[in-house]
Copies of this chain bind each other. A is one copy, B any other.
Amino acid sequence: MGPLLPESLACNERIDGKMSKAKGKAVVAQSGGPTAVINASACGVIQTVLANEDHFDGILGSLNGVLGVLREELYDLGKENPDQIDLLRRSPSAALGSCRYKLKDLKKDRQDYERILEVFKAQDIRYFFYIGGNDSMDTADKLSQLAQEVGYEMTAIGVPKTIDNDLAFTDHCPGYGSVAKYSATSVMEAGRDTEALYTHDTTTVHEVMGRNAGWIAAATGLARRSPQDAPHIILLPEVPFVTEKFVQQVKDCLSEFKRCFVACGEGVKTPDGQYLAEAGGSFGQDAFGHAQLGGAADAVRAIIENEAGIKCRTNRAGTAQRNAMHFASKTDVDEAYMAGKAAVAAAMQGVTGKMVTLVRQDDGGAYRCTTGLADLGQVANAEKPVPPEFIDDSGTGVTDAFRAYATPLIVGQAEVEIADDGLPRYARLARHMVEKKTGREYDAG
């Protein structure tokens, strides 16, 4: 499907949609891991809904993703200070509140879905904008199905969000450009540290996020403008980790450059598909059944120290990397906002059951991105790993094709407000809760 909105569409612009749906409230929710720009998408949704008041009876925020709907913990975004809503565009993390709650299979347990429709009916919610990844698109899809099944007129539109960049049917995902820019910069900077101190700390392993896909690890390769630059070795989940080969690569790198800087995706796996590191303790899985990772760098460090006999340092920015608004990509922020706006535009044009996609205009000129649509159900059940043409022959570097793909996504410095104390000023919503109308509590999460 073609682009829905020109990227020049101004903030607060009214949209002429055919009034195919009953007028009612909209609700917007955020789910999964925060990013630097998920609030920019929320801002795009909120400002566009508020600018089209003849189409919507206002917009509610859901406290902590779908949990807020289940618990009827909703607040009126129209009562927020408009300056704070605008500041969302320059604020990281998920200001609406996020969650990792996964709804059960609709065929096995309809309870959660029926509760959501109960709340929607009680609050007269006719539009559901869900900003998230695969799991969130799955939730929105099933909800849309059930609403149709029971004849409740409702629109569900997904807005893509994931630093992991692994959603299918979209050229890239809002959130990726910023974590890519920050991670590449951190690797460039930490790489200079290893370069300066190679007589003492000769190897460094820098771990980045990415559970199943190596897009962030690959992005650190953008920092390598010449062979001597970090990262010398990139470990991707897409390429099985073979200890002997890796140790030899480290030794070769040390011979050539006297130092070795390794960028390591948290989801790096052994040839038999096991994560190189599993979390310790008793909290090995999250609510979606995903293994909780972290510590891949420590596993790689142990290999370097034990197998190669070389001292090794590790860096792991953790959650700081996905919220690094202070050095986010302007391209990413602008596209995240555009995606939020496009979701509302699609809803007003009668679309439902779709996720907004980012569409790269391959017309041979400068990079240009517009929006399209994909079926929620298809997005929910697909993943997009780093394709072979983006990985070089060594398996531990990126190709020029990847550079051509990723570079435009990190261009431009996102604007940040700096307070007098020298630190960023980020939005926090007042959250004026609306009255509960279903008359009952619901045990969720």
Q: Is A232 an interface residue (CB 8 A)?
A: no
B188 x A426 contact (CB < 8 A): yes
**CA separation between A411 and B420, bound complex, in Å?**
8
Question: Which of A95, A181, A194, A315 has the most chain B CB within a 10 Å cutoff?
Answer: A315
Q: Say yes or no: A197-B34 contact (C-beta < 8 A), given A189-B92, A204-B319.
A: yes
Docked-complex contact B317 and A317, CB < 8 angstroms: yes
Pairs across A and B, CB under 8 Å, 13 listed: A67-B199, A93-B189, A93-B196, A94-B196, A99-B199, A185-B326, A186-B320, A283-B311, A315-B318, A317-B320, A329-B422, A410-B422, A410-B423
Question: Is A356 part of the binding interface, using a Cβ–Cβ cutoff of 8 Å?
Answer: no
Q: Does A254 contact B (CB under 8 A)?
A: no
Q: Mark A363-399, 1 if CB is under 8 A from B, else 0.
A: 0000000000000000000000000000000000000
Partner of A190, one of B194, B195, B320: B320
Q: Distance (Å) between the CB of A51 and the closest chain B CB?
A: 26
**A130 CB–B CB distance under 8 Å:** no
- Chain B residues near A200 (CB, 8 Å)? 99-100, 286-287
Instruction: Answer yes or no: A325 CB below 8 A from chain B CBs.
Output: yes
A424 touching B185 by the CB < 8 A rule?
A: yes
6 shortest interchain CB distances as A-B pairs: A315-B318, A93-B192, A94-B196, A189-B323, A410-B422, A411-B422
Residue of A34, A196, A301, A306 with most partner-chain B CB within 10 A: A196
Any chain B CB within 8 A of the CB of A168? Answer: no
Given contacts A318-B313, A319-B313, contact A326 B222 (CB under 8 A): no
Interface residues on A, range: 35 or more
> Are B324 and A186 touching (Cβ within 8 A)?
yes
Closest to A329 in B: B422
Q: Is A161 close to B, CB under 8 A?
A: no
A426 to B188, CA, bound (A): 9
Verify A423–B222 contact, CB threshold 8 A: yes
How near does chain B come to A162, taking the closest CB pair, in angstroms? Answer: 14
> Which residues of chain A from 176 to 207 have any CB-CB distance to chain B below 8 Å in the complex?
181, 184-190, 192-197, 199-201, 204, 206
A92 CB → nearest B CB, Å: 5
By beta carbon, the residue of chain B nearest A409 is B422
Is A423 a contact partner of B94 (Cβ separation < 8 A)? no
B193 x A322 contact (CB < 8 A): yes
Cβ-defined partner of A193 (8 Å) among B34, B301, B327, B410: B34
Chain B residues closer than 8 Å to A181, beta-carbon distance: 422-423
Chain B residues near A199: list those with CB within 8 A: 64, 67, 98-101, 445
Would you call A30 an interface residue if the criterion is a C-beta within 8 Å of the partner chain's C-beta atoms? yes
For residue A426, which residues in chain B have a CB less than 8 angstroms away from its CB? 188-189, 192
- A431: min CB distance to chain B, Å: 12
User: Could you mark each residue 277-305 of chain A with 1 if its beta carbon is under 8 Å from any beta carbon of chain B, else 0?
Assistant: 00011110011000000100000011001
Q: How far is the CA of A281 from the CA of B306 in the complex (A)?
A: 8
Contact A413 B418, CB 8 Å, known A197-B34, A316-B318, A445-B199: yes
Q: In the complex, A326 Cα to B418 Cα: how many Å?
A: 15
Q: Which of B30, B93, B222 contacts A195 (CB 8 A)?
A: B93
- Chain A 25-53 against B: per-residue CB contact (8 Å), 1 yes, 0 no? 00000100110000000000000000000
A6 at interface by CB-CB < 8 Å: no
With a cutoff of 8 Å between Cβ atoms, the chain B residues found around residue A317 in the complex are 186, 315-317, 320
With beta carbons under 8 angstroms apart, the residue of B97, B189, B281 that contacts A324 is: B189
User: CB distance A190 to B316 under 8 Å?
Assistant: no
Contact present for B323 and A192 (CB under 8 Å): yes
Distance between Cα atoms of A313 and B34 in the complex (Å): 14
**Nearest-neighbor residue (CB-CB) of A304 within chain B:** B281
A301 neighbours in B (Cβ, 8 Å):
281
Residues of chain B within 8 A (CB-CB) of A283 are 305, 311-312
Query: CA separation between A322 and B190, bound complex, in Å?
Result: 8
Q: In the bound complex, do residue A222 and residue B421 qualify as a contact, i.e. CB atoms below 8 Å apart?
A: yes
CB atoms of A192 and B34 under 8 A apart: yes
Closest residue of chain B to A408 (Cβ to Cβ) is B422
Does A82 reach chain B (CB closer than 8 Å)? no
